[in-house]
């Protein structure tokens, strides 16, 4: 793309005599960094007009300085200090007049009665009246800082906040409207009147065509419609204007004005009167001062001393609103830490607020700093620097040489960080600061939580965040008891005043101090930015080594919010530097000089000026060799600068930077998320017609790049088991991909990723979409059938049986013989139809294919069906054969499923020691996986403890159990309900009925629909424990025969206890003898029920001995109680 045509640049000083040509001009190179100043070794800012074509100037004879500037657009003379042409709004400071987006207020005024007046008098008198009207209205508009946009007949349009930003544009427009009404009355003694419409909103500002406006947007149309609806002498204001000026003006009740294109009309209020005048404006200063945070600073010092003394990690969260002083506090701590002996290792990382695939970005920054990794280094070079820590490379987006399953990759990444930091703190303490954690994904939060809990040694982790982080993650950092939080509140007025005086090293005048105290609201960043604005405007000047204060101008615009402050400050920059800041904002918080120069085209910005005015800060090093690296000082600065760019400009600059970055970095994987972000932003569907009109080939190329990098970034994210991030990137890709076949592949990938996170609804929806787009039916239906049977509880409502039946039938019909998909289809068919032959066929095919994961799937299917039919000995043999494969399986999800099945199998046959050992292995396996996986580990632990009657253990586990449920609530799972009911049962046995009632209510509120067979044992045990005969009766009657399978060990045990309480001897006699084999968990429960029903002491003694032999001590004790009761009226079952 070539540069856009630029208007002639005006000159503010006479041309130098024979300046000659610069080196860049002589070599034909485009100016990139400005003339090089060898004395100081940094770019020297070019003088205005240096090396540029001359513009029109007015120089009086014998006077060298320019006293006026001629607008290059309309030719009108302007005062030398003017930055915009007073006639047409063209920028006059040597910069190009590009379009910009502004938040502004537009005023439309129409002279009522002028038509009748013109019809009754001479045209010359009419012109004279209108000229007086024009002059008077112009004066009132300009008095309040507005710009007369145009006059048309007897109407006037004015803009406030455009072309130059004003923090109180709405108030100014309203004051101007009232003044215009008053002035007109004074001029014409009430013979003429005005009607005015005012509206606030986003506008596009640019150099106008002849006869057109320099401000465009819907806000203009709405203001015009409000003016038409107003009565003579009235001013109608739109909702946004009323909101912006609330408290400063009195308005009427709202009314609605009809307007074309506005189905609900336009809500408006009549302006009644001003309640207050605009306050005087204040000033600004620069020095760095630490005020009002002494207590918080001492807390941080104490935390560091504790880490040193206890030699264990601690997490300290520093919470506060944007700009309240979190970074300033950590900088003070950094300075103090530098004086410690031994001096700790200090590392900093910052969480990005944009893009996908940037979960571990701050930790990547820590690695780059620690190992001196530059952006341009080859993966081999990075691997050499990481030495024997290859899994740390996953943090930087590097692919592993091993074919790791996503869950394994994530687990090894976490382990690698624990090991790395443990080694780091072995020699001396370390402090790691992670800034802006409110932008962090849960995965990063989990990893930091893991580091605090598992690293051994003196490590202090500091995390700054806005308070809203706790809304999303209330238990942040609380898992290990090694956390504390510091909440930064706004400074009180006394501290704000002290900060002002120390910043300027002077006694600040009251009017300035009061203004800053009021506007900054105790926010140190607001205070700093306000003082910077005052200095930029010359209100505060450095004279003779101290600060001097000029009089506050009557129209001095002091922003009343941080966004307005930044918008006003940005507008004070010269055009080239402003363009550079905007380009930097497109690139990101961290940027490099090279692409900035590329994006601004022929302009020659001085980034040193941006440093001097504290918009950016240059970093001492660079992650991109050969490029100077900078960081925008505040995230809000980046946001505001970015929003000032028109959508078309944003898109083109995103594309240009992405192209630059891809070529500069040779398309490295670690940059895939950033490339995906910038390419996608370049072709946002709503902006295509603005950014790329008639450039179909360019759009196709950009779209292909966006899809490629989104897909690659998604693969890397899923590979780290950052599933939500991966799905978001895949959805971004599918929205950009034009080809149905490729869309089908992407939807299949989305479905597979959704299944990994147990999102049943998302899984099915994605697979159905893949089918609609022509995906291979066998592949999709086998995946639908297989994942459904593997994760049957991942729906809030149980699936319809006919639907599952149809998926399995289609899978069997569509999969090719001998294909991997066929194994999944056969295994799903076996599980669904309890078809052992189908399970064996799946296993045989898997062995023929030599795929270890498919072999595990086949063995699991065979094992489950053997157990289901009561063939436990053979099921144990299959489980042991499968156990030998687990070390070869890279998918920890599949390993977890195998261990889950084994726990149930060992419990069924009464091998409770083996079951407990397997639970411990399961908990270790799922510890680094999703909340859903971790809940499964909790569930198996709770089920086993409940089966053993370990109620004290359950009580101690309840708090963690509730936390596990809370973490998994977004994912449907029957165990969300089940573990809470088990916790409630434990509380009943421990005598805490209040907690039990609360837990039951919480379980009922979750709203899982169906799954009654999975919860029947829990409800029955609760009723028995509470001696609720009615509840026992209802639950026993609700149990369906098909639920009572040989593997339903919990339900059978609860049923025998319930039947004993209900004294249903006939059913006990019918069901009990089946369970008298010695290797069954249910056997002693059956024997106990028979003993109670028959009032047989020998059977009860036998049951007690059986319980004791299995290690079920609580059940043995309760059985002995029943045995002792045989001497009374009746024996009762244990409660």
Name the token pair of 976.
Answer: 């969300």
Specify the higher pLDDT residue, 519 or 154. 154
* 252-272 burial code (b ≥16 CB/10 A, e <16): eeeeebebeeeeeebebbbbe
Please say whether the beta carbons of 654 and 682 come within 8 A: yes
DSSP string, 36-73: EETTTTEEPPPPTTTTS----EE--TT--S--EEE-TT
CATH fold for the domain made of 941-1127:
1.25.40
For the chain, what is the largest distance between any 2 Cα atoms, rounded to a whole number of angstroms?
Answer: 130
Distance between CA atoms of residues 271 and 377, nearest Å: 63
Strand stretches in 137-241, DSSP E: 147-152, 155-160, 193-205, 215-216, 235-238
Burial (CB count <10 Å: 0-12, 13-18, 19+), residue 452:
buried
Distance between CA atoms of residues 1035 and 1018, nearest Å: 10
| Nearest CA-CA partner of 1016 in 987, 1049, 1046 | 1049
The model's confidence at residue 202, banded by pLDDT at 50, 70 and 90, is confident
The model's confidence at residue 596, banded by pLDDT at 50, 70 and 90, is very high
Rg (CA), the chain: 37
Beta-bridged to residue 151, according to DSSP, are 156
**Cα–Cα–Cα angle for 1090, 1095, 1097, nearest 5°?**
90
How far is Cα of residue 171 from the mean position of the Cα atoms in its chain? 35
Question: Which pLDDT does position 1073 carry in this prediction?
Answer: 87
Left (φ > 0), alpha (ψ -120 to 50) or beta: where does 516 sit? alpha
Distance between CA atoms of residues 225 and 227, nearest Å: 5
892 phi/psi in degrees, rounded to 5:
-65, -20
Name the token pair of 1106.
Answer: 């059986």
**Cα–Cα–Cα angle for 13, 14, 18, nearest 5°?**
130
Question: Which pLDDT does position 96 carry in this prediction?
Answer: 40
Strand stretches in 518-588, DSSP E: 540-543, 546-549
Model confidence at 81: pLDDT above 60: no
Range scoring the smallest mean pLDDT among 379-383, 448-452, 1053-1057: 379-383
The residues, ordered by sequence, that sit 6+ positions from 1059 with a Cβ below 8 Å of its Cβ are 1036, 1067, 1068, 1071, 1089, 1093
Distance between CA atoms of residues 194 and 108, nearest Å: 10
C-alpha torsion 1071→1072→1074→1075, nearest 10: 130
Q: What does DSSP assign to residue 588?
A: -
- 253: cis peptide before it, omega within 30°? no
CB atoms closer than 10 angstroms to residue 668: 20
Name the token pair of 676.
Answer: 């995906």
Name the token pair of 739.
Answer: 């080809």
Report, as an integer, the average pLDDT of 459-475. Answer: 85
DSSP H helices, 948-1042, are 951-968, 974-989, 993-1006, 1012-1025, 1029-1038
Distance between CA atoms of residues 713 and 671, nearest Å: 8
Model confidence at 79: pLDDT above 90: no
Distance between CA atoms of residues 943 and 949, nearest Å: 10
Task: Provide the residue ranges of all domains of the chain, joining segments of one domain with +.
Answer: 1-98, 101-274, 294-487, 493-568, 577-645, 646-738, 941-1127
The model's confidence at residue 648, banded by pLDDT at 50, 70 and 90, is very high
Question: Which pLDDT does position 215 carry in this prediction?
Answer: 87
Give whichever of 154-163, 296-305, 528-537 has the largest mean pLDDT.
296-305
Strand stretches in 530-604, DSSP E: 540-543, 546-549, 590-592
DSSP H helices, 666-739, are 672-682, 688-691, 696-719, 723-736
Model confidence at 454: pLDDT above 50: yes
Report, as an integer, the average pLDDT of 752-781. Answer: 92
Distance between CA atoms of residues 223 and 266, nearest Å: 10
Please say whether the beta carbons of 94 and 575 come within 8 A: yes
| Contacts for 129-136: CB closer than 8 Å, 24+ residues apart | 129/188, 130/154, 132/187, 133/184, 133/187, 133/192, 136/180, 136/183, 136/184, 136/187
Model confidence at 1034: pLDDT above 80: yes
CATH fold for the domain made of 101-274:
Alpha-Beta Plaits (3.30.70)
User: pLDDT tens, 872-925?
Assistant: 999 999 999 999 999 999 888 889 999 999 999 999 999 999 999 999 999 999
User: pLDDT tens, 90-137?
Assistant: 555 544 446 888 889 999 999 887 666 666 677 777 788 888 888 999
Question: Which pLDDT does position 425 carry in this prediction?
Answer: 93
Do 577-645 and 941-1127 show the same overall fold? no
| Nearest CA-CA partner of 655 in 715, 711, 586 | 586
Question: Which pLDDT does position 84 carry in this prediction?
Answer: 56
Question: Which pLDDT does position 60 carry in this prediction?
Answer: 31
Q: What does DSSP assign to residue 1127?
A: G
The model's confidence at residue 171, banded by pLDDT at 50, 70 and 90, is confident
Give whichever of 81-85, 97-101, 619-623, 931-935 has the largest mean pLDDT.
931-935
User: pLDDT tens, 404-428?
Assistant: 888 888 888 999 999 999 999 998 9
User: pLDDT tens, 711-743?
Assistant: 999 999 888 878 899 999 999 999 999 999 999
Please say whether the beta carbons of 285 and 535 come within 8 A: yes
Distance between CA atoms of residues 64 and 665, nearest Å: 50
The model's confidence at residue 817, banded by pLDDT at 50, 70 and 90, is very high
Name the token pair of 630.
Answer: 């900078």
The model's confidence at residue 792, banded by pLDDT at 50, 70 and 90, is confident
Report, as an integer, the average pLDDT of 979-1000. Answer: 95
Question: Which pLDDT does position 828 carry in this prediction?
Answer: 92
| Nearest CA-CA partner of 401 in 95, 719, 680 | 719
User: pLDDT tens, 608-627?
Assistant: 999 887 789 998 888 777 88
Question: Which pLDDT does position 220 carry in this prediction?
Answer: 92
Q: What three-state secondary structure class fits 158? A: strand
Specify the higher pLDDT residue, 296 or 1126. 296
CATH of 577-645, one of 3.40.50.620, 1.10.10.10, 3.40.1080.10, 2.170.150.20: 1.10.10.10
Indicate the average pLDDT of the chain. Answer: 83
Q: What does DSSP assign to residue 208?
A: P
Nearest-10 crossing angle of helices 510-520, 524-536: 130
| Nearest CA-CA partner of 219 in 367, 343, 340, 103 | 103
Please say whether the beta carbons of 326 and 339 come within 8 A: no
202 phi/psi in degrees, rounded to 5:
-85, 135
Percent of the chain residues topping a pLDDT of 70: 85
Give whichever of 57-61, 294-298, 473-477, 515-519 has the largest mean pLDDT.
294-298
The model's confidence at residue 31, banded by pLDDT at 50, 70 and 90, is very low
User: pLDDT tens, 1092-1112?
Assistant: 999 999 999 999 999 999 999
CATH fold for the domain made of 294-487:
Rossmann fold (3.40.50)
Please say whether the beta carbons of 557 and 168 come within 8 A: yes
Q: What three-state secondary structure class fits 476? A: coil
The model's confidence at residue 68, banded by pLDDT at 50, 70 and 90, is low
Model confidence at 819: pLDDT above 90: yes
Question: Which pLDDT does position 197 carry in this prediction?
Answer: 96
Range scoring the smallest mean pLDDT among 500-504, 629-633, 787-791: 500-504
Strands 42-43 and 36-37 turn out to be antiparallel
Name the token pair of 379.
Answer: 């993966």
Name the token pair of 398.
Answer: 């590097």
């Amino acid at each position: 793309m070539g540069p856009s045509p630029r208007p002639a640049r005006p000159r503010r000083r006479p041309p130098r005599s024979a300046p000659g040509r610069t080196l860049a001009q002589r070599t034909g190179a485009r100016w990139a960094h400005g003339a090089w100043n060898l004395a100081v070794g940094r770019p020297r800012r070019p003088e205005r007009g240096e090396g540029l074509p001359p513009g029109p100037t007015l120089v009086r004879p014998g006077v060298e300085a320019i006293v006026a500037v001629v607008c290059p657009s309309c030719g009108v003379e302007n005062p030398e200090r003017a930055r915009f042409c007073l006639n047409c709004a063209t920028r006059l400071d040597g910069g190009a007049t590009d379009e910009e987006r502004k938040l502004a207020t537009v005023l439309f005024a129409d002279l009522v009665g002028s038509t009748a007046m013109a019809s009754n008098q001479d045209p010359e008198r009419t012109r004279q009246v209108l000229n007086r009207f024009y002059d008077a209205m112009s004066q009132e508009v300009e008095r309040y800082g507005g710009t007369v946009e145009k006059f048309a007949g007897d109407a006037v349009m004015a803009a406030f906040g455009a072309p130059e930003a004003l923090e109180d544009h709405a108030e100014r427009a309203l004051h101007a409207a009232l003044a215009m009404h008053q002035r007109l009355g004074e001029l014409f003694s009430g013979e003429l009147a005005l009607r005015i419409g005012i509206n606030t909103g986003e506008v596009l500002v640019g150099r106008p065509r002849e006869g057109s406006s320099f401000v465009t947007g819907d806000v203009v149309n709405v203001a015009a419609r409000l003016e038409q609806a107003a009565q003579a002498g009235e001013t109608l204001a739109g909702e946004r204007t009323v909101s912006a000026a609330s408290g400063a003006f009195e308005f009427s009740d709202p009314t609605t004005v009809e307007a074309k294109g506005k189905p609900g009309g336009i809500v408006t209020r009549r302006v009644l009167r001003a309640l207050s005048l605009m306050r005087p404006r204040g000033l600004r200063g620069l020095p760095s001062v630490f005020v009002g945070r002494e207590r918080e600073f001492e807390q941080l010092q104490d935390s560091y001393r504790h880490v040193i003394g206890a030699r264990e990690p601690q997490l300290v969260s520093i919470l506060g609103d944007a700009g309240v002083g979190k970074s300033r506090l950590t900088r003070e701590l950094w300075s103090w830490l530098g004086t410690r002996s031994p001096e700790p290792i200090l590392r900093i990382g910052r969480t990005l607020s944009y893009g996908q695939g940037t979960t571990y970005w701050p930790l990547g920054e820590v690695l780059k700093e620690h190992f001196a990794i530059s952006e341009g280094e080859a993966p081999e070079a990075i691997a050499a620097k990481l030495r024997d820590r290859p899994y740390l490379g996953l943090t930087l987006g590097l692919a592993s040489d091993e074919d790791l399953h996503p869950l394994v990759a994530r687990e090894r990444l976490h382990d690698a960080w624990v090991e790395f930091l443990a080694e780091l703190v072995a020699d001396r303490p370390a402090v790691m600061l992670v800034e802006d954690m409110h932008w962090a994904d849960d995965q990063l939060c989990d990893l930091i939580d893991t580091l605090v809990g598992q690293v051994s040694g003196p490590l202090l982790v500091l995390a700054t965040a806005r308070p809203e982080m706790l809304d999303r993650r209330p238990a942040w950092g609380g898992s290990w008891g090694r956390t504390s939080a510091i909440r930064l509140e706004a400074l009180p007025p006394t501290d704000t005043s002290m900060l002002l005086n120390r910043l300027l090293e002077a006694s600040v005048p009251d009017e300035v101090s009061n203004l800053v105290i009021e506007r900054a609201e105790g926010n140190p960043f607001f205070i700093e930015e306000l003082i910077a604005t005052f200095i930029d405007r010359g209100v505060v000047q450095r004279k003779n080594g101290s600060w001097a204060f000029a009089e506050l101008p009557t129209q001095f615009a002091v922003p009343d919010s941080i966004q307005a402050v930044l918008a006003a400050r940005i507008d004070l920059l010269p055009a080239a530097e402003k363009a550079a800041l905007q380009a930097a904002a497109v690139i990101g918080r961290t940027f490099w000089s090279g692409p900035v120069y590329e994006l601004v085209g022929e302009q020659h910005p001085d980034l040193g000026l941006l440093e001097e005015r504290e918009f950016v800060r240059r970093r001492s090093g660079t992650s991109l060799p050969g490029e100077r690296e900078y960081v925008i000082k505040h995230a809000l600065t980046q946001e505001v600068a970015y929003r000032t760019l028109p959508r078309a400009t944003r898109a083109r600059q995103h594309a240009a930077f992405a192209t630059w970055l891809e070529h500069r970095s040779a398309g490295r994987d670690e940059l895939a998320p950033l490339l995906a972000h910038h390419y996608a932003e370049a072709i946002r569907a709503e902006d295509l017609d603005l950014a790329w009109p008639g450039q179909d080939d360019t759009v196709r190329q950009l779209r292909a790049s966006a899809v490629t990098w989104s897909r690659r970034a998604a693969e890397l994210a899923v590979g780290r088991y950052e599933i939500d991030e991966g799905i978001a990137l895949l959805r971004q890709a599918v929205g950009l991909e034009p080809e149905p076949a490729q869309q089908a592949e992407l939807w299949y990938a989305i479905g597979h990723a959704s299944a990994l996170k147990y999102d049943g609804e998302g899984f099915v929806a994605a697979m159905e979409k893949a089918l609609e787009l022509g995906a291979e039916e066998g592949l999709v239906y086998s995946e639908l059938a297989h994942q459904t049977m593997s994760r049957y509880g991942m729906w809030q409502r149980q699936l319809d049986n006919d639907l599952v039946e149809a998926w399995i039938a289609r899978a069997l019909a569509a999969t090719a013989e001998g294909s991997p998909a066929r194994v999944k289809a056969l295994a799903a068919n076996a599980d669904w139809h309890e078809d052992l032959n189908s399970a064996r066929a799946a296993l045989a095919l898997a062995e023929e294919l030599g795929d270890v994961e498919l072999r595990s799937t086949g063995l699991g299917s065979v094992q489950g069906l053997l157990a289901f039919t009561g063939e436990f000995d053979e099921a144990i043999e299959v489980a042991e054969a499968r156990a030998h494969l687990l070390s070869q399986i890279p998918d920890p999800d599949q390993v977890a499923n195998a261990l889950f099945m084994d726990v149930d199998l060992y419990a069924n046959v009464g091998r409770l020691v083996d079951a407990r050992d397997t639970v411990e292995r399961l908990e270790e396996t799922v510890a680094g996986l999703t909340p859903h996986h971790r809940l499964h580990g909790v569930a198996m632990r709770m089920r086993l403890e409940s089966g053993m009657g370990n109620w004290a253990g359950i009580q101690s586990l309840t708090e963690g159990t509730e936390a596990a449920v809370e973490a998994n609530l977004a994912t449907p799972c029957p165990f969300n309900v089940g573990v809470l009911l088990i916790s409630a049962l434990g509380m009943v046995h421990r005598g805490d009925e209040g907690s039990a009632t609360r837990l039951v209510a919480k379980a009922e509120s979750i709203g899982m629909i169906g799954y009654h067979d999975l919860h029947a044992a829990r409800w029955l045990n609760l009723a028995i424990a509470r001696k609720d005969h009615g509840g026992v009766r209802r639950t026993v009657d609700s149990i369906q025969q098909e639920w009572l399978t040989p593997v339903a060990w919990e339900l059978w045990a609860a049923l025998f206890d319930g039947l004993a309480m209900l004294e249903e001897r006939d059913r006990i006699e019918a069901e009990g003898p089946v369970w008298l084999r010695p290797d069954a968990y249910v056997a002693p429960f059956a024997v106990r029920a028979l003993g109670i029903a028959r009032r047989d002491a020998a059977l009860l003694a036998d049951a007690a001995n059986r319980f004791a032999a299995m290690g079920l001590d609580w059940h043995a004790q309760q059985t002995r109680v029943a045995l002792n009761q045989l001497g009374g009226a009746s024996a009762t079952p244990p409660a």
